[in-house]
Amino acid sequence: MNINPIYYTLLEKPFFIDVRRIVSRQVLIHQLVTHSADRQDGTVLSERTPLAEAAMAVSAKGERKKGHWDDAPKDSVAVIPLKGDMIKQGTYCSYGTEELAALLMEAVQSPNIIGTVLDVDSGGGAVDAIWPLTEAIGKSQAQGKPVVASCDLCASAAYYVACHANRVMANNTLSSEFGSIGVMVQFADYQKYFEDMGIKVHTVYSDLSTYKNAPFEAAMKGDYKGLKDELLNPLARQFQQSVREHRQQLDEKAEGLLQGRMFFARDAVRVGLADATGTMDDAVEEVRRLSADMQLRRLSNE
């Protein structure tokens, strides 16, 4: 089983993620790093459901069908899951956003699919997991196939993706949350651990490489300014700007809106993070409405 992308992502990448997701997974992260999660009985790591079974197409009559988009009835809406912690590359136990983006592009290319519902229940994830999906959403929209995000938990990197959709909907008014617009990095300092084991680590840089890893070296000594200035703050500004561009009804007077605060469904609609509340069926119907509007606009421009 190859889970190297998980190790690489956990240990090396900056995150757009709701910190509650990290706190709740600290034991699992420790097990992954120490290999104690690699158990044959699947207690901690379980094999994922095939992606073709996780996604589905909803026909004009409301029939739900799993399998390849080309087997779906004409004028169907694709439903693609974005669930759990986001990483770019897929693994034995989770989908990567590269795979989800490829599935979305197959829906774009299928003559039977008129648009997509992105079924979101995610607290975010690695920064590099965002681009594949936002790019695929843009290509879908350019082909006249709208994307609606139907969300339960939609935080941080997941919101970064969802805000690119034509519409953002809360799929319930009890647990749906939106926000956590911010960026963080977390790392462990193993220096004392190694020293207690009698291991001394030496890090030597070339005289011509004075800036190499400088923010991280300073952070290891407790000085976080360089890490914030060169990594975290630029990413946070980019995140904020992307939300502003795609959610033009934002109430930026709402306290903490672009600084990491979370909002439940009704408040999310009020401050402009979401457009409406509604079920998955409502999201499917919204795709149909948007698709019809796009077709009318295209015909009127010809």
Residue 49, pLDDT score = 73
Task: Tell me the C-alpha to C-alpha distance, in Å, between residue 34 and each of 7, 39, 87, 90, 184.
Answer: 11, 12, 20, 21, 23
pLDDT at 224 over 60: yes
Q: What percent of the chain has pLDDT over 70?
A: 84
Residue 81's pLDDT band (boundaries 50, 70, 90)?
A: very high
**Residue 120 pLDDT:** 97
3-state helix, strand, coil in the chain (%, to 5): 45, 15, 40
Question: Would the pLDDT of 39 be above 90?
Answer: no
Fold classification of 4-186+255-301 is: 2-enoyl-CoA Hydratase; Chain A, domain 1 (3.90.226)
Q: What is the pLDDT of residue 190?
A: 86
- Answer left, alpha or beta for residue 74, where phi above 0 means left and psi between -120 and 50 means alpha: beta
Angle of CA points 180, 182, 188, to nearest 5°: 105
Compare 298 and 252 and report the one with higher pLDDT. 252
The rounded distance, in Å, linking the Cα atoms of 94 and 63 is 27
What are the φ and ψ backbone dihedral angles of 277, each rounded to 5 degrees? Answer: -110, 150
- Residue 88: C-alpha distances to residues 96, 126, 127, 130 (Å): 5, 7, 9, 8
Could you read off the pLDDT of 131-169 as tens digits, one per residue?
999 999 999 999 999 999 999 999 999 999 999 999 999
What's the pLDDT at 67?
84
Query: What count of other Cβ atoms lies within 10 Å of the Cβ of residue 139?
Result: 15
Q: What integer pLDDT is reported at residue 16 of this predicted model?
A: 60
Is the predicted pLDDT of residue 18 greater than 70, yes or no? Answer: no
- Residue 42 confidence (pLDDT): 44
Q: Residue 27, exposed/middle/buried by CB under 10 A (0-12, 13-18, 19+)?
A: exposed
Mean pLDDT of 185-200: 88
Evaluate whether 154 touches 162 at the Cβ level (below 8 Å): yes
Instruction: Answer yes or no: is pLDDT of 100 > 80.
Output: yes
Element (H, E) at 3: none
Question: Above 70 in pLDDT, residue 44?
Answer: no
For 17-38, what is the mean pLDDT?
Answer: 52
Cα–Cα nearest to 119, from 57, 205, 61? 57
Pairwise pLDDT comparison (13 vs 265), residue with the higher score: 265
The whole-number pLDDT of residue 156 equals 94
Q: Work out the number of other CB atoms within 10 angstroms of the CB of residue 218.
A: 14
Report pLDDT digits (tens) over 102-111.
999 999 999 9
> Which of 150, 24, 10, 140 has the alpha carbon at shortest distance from 86?
10
Encoding tokens for residue 10?
């956990």
Q: Which of 249, 239, 79 is nearest to 159 (CA)?
A: 239
Task: Say if CB 4 and CB 68 are below 8 A apart.
Answer: no
Q: Which of 54-58, 78-82, 285-289 has the lowest mean pLDDT?
A: 54-58
Residue 7 has pLDDT above 80, yes or no: no
- Please state, rounded to an integer, the average pLDDT across all residues of the chain: 86
- Map out the domains of the chain as residue ranges: 4-186+255-301
155, β-bridge pairs? 179
Q: Which residue has the tokens 């509604």?
A: 278
Paired sense of beta strands 262-264 and 177-179, if any? antiparallel
